[in-house]
């Protein structure tokens, strides 16, 4: 999706680098000075005497004191506040609920009806929908990311800790999203499935780089933001599908958005607990992830064709189409930060230490800063010429980017 970070990148690059250098020093000091306590079988944290840096990034930045805060959520809070937001399997929709039953004698007639409904979906809609679908299909990467977080990972693959059960059952709910989107697009005949499948395989192989440092404070801040972003995007693809005359596709996208809304609340409740128990640490995490800028999970997507053919980055072009169609925009990015500021009562938190108070001030000012940058970027685009790019997902047809 278009992230707002595109509007901020040029102006924020130098400032961001300075913040990261300072953050590395602070975290390295905190990790090195943290008391080394034995790790339990379910919450392994490596013993370190100084900063762990790989590929220029800090790893395992969670201090022992904050690991204990995370562990404290497991005693009742997670079970009562978070886990109930999962739905029993028997109450969940399944992809088959929306698709023509392949066993029906009139299956081909129903597929024909589906194709007739999909005829009016324009190419820019298809590009955005397919980009969202590819994002959902890279689910193995997201489960892996959650299992990199210290103190909450599934240590055995079938651990019965609340954290591990949440991750597996969240993944199970999310798995339906890519399934239904993929099958529906295949039946429409409107998109190049081979190209899409190559993009999915490349994306899963490439992984993602959210810069969460194996730190659940940062990881759950990221998911709190990201789930709301996907809810907005799927909600808008639902609205657009209805406008283009496909109510079934609209219902599919709306059902996915509803799931994302529940998951958003769950992750924000985890951060609620961290803010309640450690307001300084939670505030620092909020500002840290905002300074890094939230990257979408599919930022490493690659179809093997787009860049060699067009000289352009596939994810950035997909994001530009999402911005142009109003599916997900820089303004949405700013609105999500505003929502989280209100959700976690950032403006009214007092008694924070110096660094956390500075982080509080930074976060409070950020949405308006993003909006101003987005407005300037929009004004520049309005004065420029219309840019197009061809997408392999729609058989190399050209789609307007701006």
Residue 281 within a domain: yes
Number of structural domains found in the chain: 1
Instruction: For residue range 58-103, list pLDDT tens digits in order.
Output: 899 999 999 999 999 998 999 999 999 999 999 999 999 999 999 9
Residue 177 within a domain: yes
Binding residues: 136, 174, 177, 227, 260, 263
Residue 33 within a domain: no
Do 297 and 208 contact (CB within 8 A), yes or no? yes
Residue-level pLDDT at 252: 98
Residue 318 within a domain: yes
Pairing of strands 397-400, 57-59: unpaired
Do 60 and 46 contact (CB within 8 A), yes or no? yes
Of the candidates 259, 264, 280, 323, the residue annotated as catalytic is 259
Distance CA 146, CA 377 (A): 34
Could you list the mean pLDDT of each consecutive 10-residue stretch along the chain, which spans 402 residues? Answer: 46 44 37 38 44 80 96 94 97 98 98 98 98 98 97 96 97 98 98 98 96 97 98 98 98 98 98 98 98 94 97 97 97 98 98 98 97 94 91 98 88
Residue 28 within a domain: no
Q: Tell me, what CATH number does 393's domain have?
A: 1.10.620.20
Structure-block tokens of residue 269:
């409740």
Residue 335 within a domain: yes
Residue-level pLDDT at 13: 43
Residue 321 within a domain: yes
Residue-level pLDDT at 54: 76
Binding residues for Fe cation: 136, 174, 177, 227, 260, 263
* 260 tagged catalytic: yes
The H-or-E segment that residue 315 falls in is: helix 314-324
Structure-block tokens of residue 351:
């008694």
Residue 52 within a domain: no
Do 191 and 185 contact (CB within 8 A), yes or no? yes
| Residue 311: domain span | 64-400
- How far, in Å, are 127, 131, 177, 269 from residue 252 at the CA level? 17, 16, 9, 26
Q: Angle between the 247-277 and 216-243 helix axes, to the nearest 10 degrees?
A: 160
The H-or-E segment that residue 53 falls in is: strand 52-54
Pairing of strands 52-54, 397-400: unpaired
Of the candidates 227, 272, 288, 323, the residue annotated as catalytic is 227
pTM of the model: 0.88
* 259 tagged catalytic: yes
Residue-level pLDDT at 51: 56
Residue-level pLDDT at 53: 79
Of the candidates 123, 137, 246, 260, the residue annotated as catalytic is 260
Please provide the distance, in angstroms rounded to a whole number, between the alpha carbons at the two ends of the chain. Answer: 14
* 177 tagged catalytic: yes
């Amino acid at each position: 999706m278009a992230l707002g970070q595109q509007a901020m990148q040029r102006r924020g690059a130098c400032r961001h680098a300075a913040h990261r250098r300072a953050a590395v020093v602070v975290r390295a000091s905190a990790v090195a000075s943290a008391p080394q306590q034995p790790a339990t079988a379910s919450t392994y944290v490596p013993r370190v005497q100084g900063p762990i840096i790989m590929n220029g990034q800090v790893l395992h930045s969670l201090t022992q004191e904050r690991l204990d805060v995370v562990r404290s959520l497991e005693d009742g809070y997670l079970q009562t506040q978070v886990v109930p937001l999962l739905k029993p399997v028997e109450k969940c929709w399944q992809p088959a609920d929306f698709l023509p039953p392949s066993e029906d004698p009139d299956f081909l007639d129903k597929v024909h009806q589906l194709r007739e409904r999909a005829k009016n979906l324009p190419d820019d809609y298809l590009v955005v929908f397919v980009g969202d679908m590819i994002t959902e299909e890279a689910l193995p990467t997201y489960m892996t990311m959650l299992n990199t977080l210290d103190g909450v990972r599934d240590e055995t693959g079938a651990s019965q800790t609340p954290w591990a059960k949440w991750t597996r059952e969240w993944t199970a709910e999310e798995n339906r999203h890519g399934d239904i989107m993929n099958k529906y697009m295949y039946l429409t005949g409107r998109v190049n499935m081979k190209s899409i499948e190559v993009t999915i395989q490349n994306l899963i192989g490439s992984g993602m780089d959210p810069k969460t440092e194996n730190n659940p404070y940062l990881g759950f801040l990221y998911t709190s933001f990201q789930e709301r972003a996907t809810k907005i995007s799927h909600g808008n693809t639902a609205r657009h599908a209805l406008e283009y005359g496909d109510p079934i596709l609209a219902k599919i996208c709306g059902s996915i958005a509803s799931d994302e809304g529940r998951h958003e609340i769950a992750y924000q409740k985890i951060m609620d607990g961290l803010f309640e128990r450690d307001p300084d640490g939670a505030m620092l995490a909020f500002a840290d992830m905002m300074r890094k800028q939230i990257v979408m999970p599919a930022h490493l997507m690659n179809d093997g064709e787009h860049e060699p053919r067009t000289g352009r980055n596939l994810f950035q072009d997909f994001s530009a189409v999402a911005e142009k169609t109003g599916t997900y925009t820089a303004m949405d990015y700013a609105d999500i930060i505003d929502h989280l500021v209100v959700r976690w009562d950032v403006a009214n938190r007092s008694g924070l230490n110096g660094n956390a108070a500075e982080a509080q001030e930074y976060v409070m000012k950020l949405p308006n800063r993003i909006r101003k940058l987005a407005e300037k970027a929009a004004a520049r685009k309005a004065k420029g010429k219309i840019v197009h790019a061809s997408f392999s997902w729609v058989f190399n047809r050209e789609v307007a980017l701006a």
